[in-house]
Chain A
Amino acid sequence: MSGTMTLAQPRIRIPRQARAGEVIEIRTLMEHPMESGIRGRNLTAVPRDALVRLLVRMNGETVFAADLGNGTAANPYHVFFVRMQRTSEFEFLWTDERGRSARANARVAVA
């Protein structure tokens, strides 16, 4: 599996521009096996390898976060909605159980 390799490059779908007050849709997809280690009812059948957290900051402030459990599917996909007031910098950060992380950034201009 991903073993000691680095995490994949996240994919973000976010509009580049928005009107002030507009609610924009943000979609994120992170390639990852999300190996729970579970096979059938055996909870420790194979080594675990899972992302545990997605953190989204807008202009440095956390606006959305997800704690990911075993029930989150492989290649975690999330959609959420942010109200835009001004031109903003977004930062997306995924962290796995061993502390490795993957990051993505985006800028949304508000006219």
Chain B
Amino acid sequence: MTGTRRAALLLGLCAVAPGAARASEAPEVEQAIAAITGDRPVEEGGLTLRLPALAENGAQVPIGVLVDSPMTAQEHVVAIHLFATRNPTPGVATFHLSPALGRAEVQTRIRLAEDQRVVALAVLSDGRIRRAAAETRVATGGCLT
């Protein structure tokens, strides 16, 4: 990795630091995210997004989301939203969770059209929102041509 590329990556990381203006996504992605967050603050951390760094087949990319939550009636995860930022339509899925789930974890398989960042939002029962993102390279795009 060249020095300038590393610097660019570090800048990219800084851009997603809490509270800072993060790397902005395409307008329809920003809109979809804003529809969930409204004007509530979004926290980083407490949410793990597992995605392979290289997806051989974009039509079937395994993804896992794990939220740090006790999953009790008082304190649990209400919903998890997934967005593929560079798909023709960014919406992947929304999962609705309940305290009956012993663990705030969901695994599924998604479609990715090209190299991109996947964004996860977790909505907690007290209204807080957490965000995580992961980058993946896609060897063969998941959208039919």
Contacts and interface: CB of A to CB of B under 8 A. Distances in A.
B101 A80 contact: yes
Given A41-B88, A76-B108, A79-B107, A71 B102 contact: no
Contact of B143 (A39, A58, A80): A39
Interface in A58-108: 58, 61-83
B24 interface: no
Given A58-B100, A61-B100, A63-B100, A78 B108 contact: yes
A34 to B, nearest CB: 8
Contact of A71 (B93, B100, B103, B144): B93
Contact of A43 (B60, B89, B112): B89
A77 B59 CA distance: 13
Contacts of B59: 73-74
Nearest to B90: A71
A74 B98 CA distance: 26
B82 interface: yes
B95 A73 contact: no
Contacts of B145: 39-40
Nearest to B106: A80
A102 B97 CA distance: 21
Nearest to A67: B94
Nearest to B94: A67
A64 B105 CA distance: 11
B111 A83 contact: no
Contacts of A20: none
Nearest to B57: A73
Contacts of B92: 69-72
A66 B93 contact: yes
Contacts of A67: 93-96
Contacts of A75: 109
A78 B91 contact: no
B107 A71 contact: no
A92 B105 CA distance: 18
Give me the 4 closest cross-chain CB pairs, A-B, nearest first: A23-B102, A71-B92, A83-B102, A69-B91
12 contacts: A38-B89, A38-B144, A40-B145, A66-B96, A73-B60, A73-B61, A73-B111, A74-B59, A78-B107, A79-B108, A82-B100, A83-B102
Given A71-B83, A80-B105, 5 more contacts: A62-B98, A68-B93, A69-B91, A71-B111, A72-B109
